[in-house]
């Protein structure tokens, strides 16, 4: 697929966070999160996004066909979004991996936060509490990864595209994580909500 044929849909979450849904996968092997330009070294897509002039990018998360970009400046997504789009097209056209595989921690290396342990605890919370509850609305919440104590999740079924997905995420899941696993530092929803074919609650105009 040439870069011209790649379709990218931007879904701003707010003025600081935007998901870019790409028509082809960029990183099939799980999730990579980059919290700085230094961390992005060796991953061409993330490097290019951090290098967007005056972009103020602070975080890049790549999972499958979704690139989530976080920035700290108040500028609208228009200018930064075009740079992200160009970076995605360039990475896809190059044929090289857009992001490098996650390096295994060195043996015996100290870790301030043990993501593997957190992953297990979050997964258990999702299995035991979150998913049985959202299943009543035909939904499910999938834990994708935990990186640097940030939980990456994807919503499916009735939650995908649901008008109240933000409420479920922020008033529900976030609160449960804060209560049960306070070490979690944040949540990133990497769901492509525009593709939700059967949302439990459907938004309408007024």
74 binds another protein, rule: CB under 8 A: yes
Of the candidate residues 98, 173, 184, 188, the single one contacting another protein (CB under 8 A): 173
Q: Count of CB atoms within 10 A of residue 72's CB?
A: 10
* 3-class secondary structure, 108: coil
From the list 41-49, 98-106, 110-118, 136-144, the region that binds another protein by CB under 8 A is: 136-144
129 binds another protein, rule: CB under 8 A: yes
Q: Alpha-carbon Rg of the chain, whole angstroms? A: 17
Q: Are 10 and 22 in contact (CB under 8 A)?
A: no
137 binds another protein, rule: CB under 8 A: yes
The pairing of strands 139-147 and 150-157 is: antiparallel
Of the candidate residues 3, 12, 30, 113, the single one contacting another protein (CB under 8 A): 12
First vs last C-alpha separation in the chain:
40
* 3-class secondary structure, 104: coil
Q: Are 164 and 134 in contact (CB under 8 A)?
A: no
Min CB(67)–another protein separation in Å:
14
DSSP label of 179:
H
166 CB-side CA count, 13 A: 5
From the list 50-58, 69-77, 93-101, 116-124, the region that binds another protein by CB under 8 A is: 69-77
Of the candidate residues 48, 139, 154, 188, the single one contacting another protein (CB under 8 A): 139
User: In terms of CB distance, is 55 or 139 closer to another protein?
Assistant: 139
172 binds another protein, rule: CB under 8 A: yes
User: Which parts of this chain interact with another protein (CB under 8 A)?
Assistant: 6-15, 74, 76-78, 81, 85, 129-130, 133-134, 136-137, 139, 161, 163-168, 170-173, 175-176, 194-197, 199, 201-206
């Amino acid at each position: 697929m040439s870069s011209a044929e790649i379709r990218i849909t931007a879904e701003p979450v707010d003025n600081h966070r935007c998901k870019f849904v790409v028509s082809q996968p960029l990183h099939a092997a799980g999730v990579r999160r980059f919290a700085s330009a230094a961390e992005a070294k060796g991953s061409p897509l993330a490097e290019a996004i951090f290098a967007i002039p005056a972009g103020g990018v602070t975080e890049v998360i790549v999972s499958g066909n979704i690139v989530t970009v976080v920035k700290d400046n108040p500028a609208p997504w228009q200018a930064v979004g075009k740079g992200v789009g160009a970076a995605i097209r360039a990475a896809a056209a190059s044929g090289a991996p857009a992001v490098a595989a996650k390096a295994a921690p060195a043996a015996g290396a100290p870790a301030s936060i043990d993501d593997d342990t957190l992953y297990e605890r979050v997964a258990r919370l999702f299995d035991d509490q979150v998913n049985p509850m959202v299943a009543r609305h035909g939904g499910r919440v999938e834990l994708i990864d935990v990186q640097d104590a940030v939980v990456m999740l994807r919503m499916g079924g009735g939650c995908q595209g649901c008008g109240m997905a933000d409420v479920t995420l922020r008033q529900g899941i976030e609160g449960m994580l804060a209560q049960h696993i306070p070490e979690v530092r944040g949540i990133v929803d990497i769901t492509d909500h525009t593709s939700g074919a059967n949302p439990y609650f459907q938004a309408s105009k007024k």
